[in-house]
Amino acid sequence: MKPRFIEVKGGEKRVLWGRFILFATITIALGVAIGELIAYLAMHRLGTAAPFAGGVLGLILVVRKLIEVLAYQPTEGDEKILVP
Does residue 77 lie within any of the structural domains?
Answer: no
pLDDT by residue (tens digit) across 32-66? 999 999 999 999 888 889 999 999 999 999 999 99
* b/e code 9-48 from CB counts within 10 Å (16+ = b): eeeebeeeeeebeebbeebbeebbebbbeebeeeeeeeee
Residue 84: pLDDT over 60: no
Residue 80's pLDDT band, with cuts at 50, 70 and 90, is: low
Residue ranges making up the domain that contains 20: 6-70
Total number of domains constituting the chain: 1
Q: Rounded to an integer, what distance in angstroms lies between the CA atom of residue 58 and that of residue 4?
A: 17
Does residue 79 lie within any of the structural domains?
Answer: no
